[in-house]
Amino acid sequence: MIKIYERASMRNEDIFIRSTSSPDVCGIVRDIIADVIENGDSAIKKYEEKFDKCTLESLEVTKEEIDEAWAEADAEFIAVMEKAAKNIIFYHEHQKREGFRINKDDGCILGQRIIPLHRAGLYVPGGTAAYPSSVLMNCIPAKIAGVDEIVMTTPPNAEGKINPIILCAAKIAGVDRIFKVGGSQAIAALAYGTESIPKVDKIVGPGNAFVAEAKRQVFGIVNIDMIAGPSEILIVADESCDEKKVAADLLSQAEHDRLASAVLVTPSRDLADRVAKELEVQLALLPREDIARTSVDNNGKIIICESIDECIDIANDIAPEHLEICVDEPMQYLDRIRNAGSVFLGKNTPEALGDYFAGTNHTLPTGGTARFSSPLSVDDFIKKYAYTYYTEDALMKVASDIEYFAEREGLSAHARSVTVRRK
């Protein structure tokens, strides 16, 4: 049963989303990464046999395998994924930006160039967490950014095959190469390269505790999107809300995994009681009841506040991955929302819209990191460099200032690099 709290009686630290800590996998992951660095493909095949129970002759998915998956796929599901992809493309096209060049009157030129990454790595979970939506969400922004090559890794089944719908999503999204490898060994391969798997510049995509730890350990060798934690949803709702809809939206995240967090913040005790009862009704109907119930019992909460304004303040403090504002006039609160991964406004905008179809990205900051980070976007797949050009006359006008600044920092060679250019 979800717990109900009065905000006035809660300590500030008790309002934050908490979940059970993952096991310490640091040492295991470190050993796997070291093995992959030293032994390449042979280490990958060894771990695939150990963890995914399959023996692989070749790691790369062939064009024939992709074509076979496409031919056998549910045509209706393909059509739905293609519609979703169009929406994702439409939204992310608006994130593209250009560099700039400033021509100053004194002959100086200053500028910035925006360059796409050369190669990006996409990790896609397998097993019960095989989500084609994640393929679309992680690949399409990279394509729009202009990344030269997108390499995907995903674990195979015991027969050495990839989930067909994942292969179809990869084809729709424009993935260039796909490899049959999962877990921390996949992250190591993408970061350092093997005989078969090319080294990438950035790794994106969700995964379990071993994948998350591997991404943490290879950061610096490559860039990563984020260290994603368990799924979260926070709903701000008033007394006019339908408890069935609120409960359904809370459970849409609770069913992800046992560590997920579902929180309702409301000024209405009546709504709190109604939602608590409705959660029990809907939980009994879920195929993933055991997972969702553990999430609700351990990490779920309902917080009763004095007003919607106070609810918004709590949402900003928690900085949730998904934030729903379920009131009749939600736009009046948009400017007050400072910390959230993605915001869903109004009573007809369930979080599932963002997961699949609206076009906004569903790879979002978790664990309060929305205070300082953002959803995955085209910006994640670009880099920038500045450029400067000075004429001789322009340099001479500022030479003494540069020399003086450098000497004050005790860096005489810096000063001399200007002095030698004086006539």
* The pairing of beta strand 202-204 with beta strand 119-123: parallel
**d(Cα 256, Cα 230) in Å, to the nearest integer?**
8
Q: Which residues of 166-185 are buried (b: 16+ CB within 10 A; e: fewer)?
A: bbbbbbbbebebbbbbbbbb
Is the Cβ–Cβ distance between 47 and 156 less than 8 Å? no
Is the Cβ–Cβ distance between 342 and 317 less than 8 Å? no
Is the Cβ–Cβ distance between 135 and 162 less than 8 Å? no
**d(Cα 91, Cα 94) in Å, to the nearest integer?**
6
Name 345's bridge partners. Answer: 325
Position of tokens 């992951």? 29
**d(Cα 12, Cα 18) in Å, to the nearest integer?**
13
321 as an active site residue: the answer is: yes
**d(Cα 210, Cα 152) in Å, to the nearest integer?**
17
**Catalytic pick among 213, 232, 243, 321:** 321
Kindly report the three-state secondary structure assignment for every residue of 251-298: HHHHCCCCCCEEEEEECCHHHHHHHHHHHHHHHCCCCCHHHHHHHHHH
Retrieve residue 420's tokens. 């030698």
**Catalytic pick among 255, 322, 324, 362:** 322
322 as an active site residue: the answer is: yes
Residues recognised as catalytic: 321-322
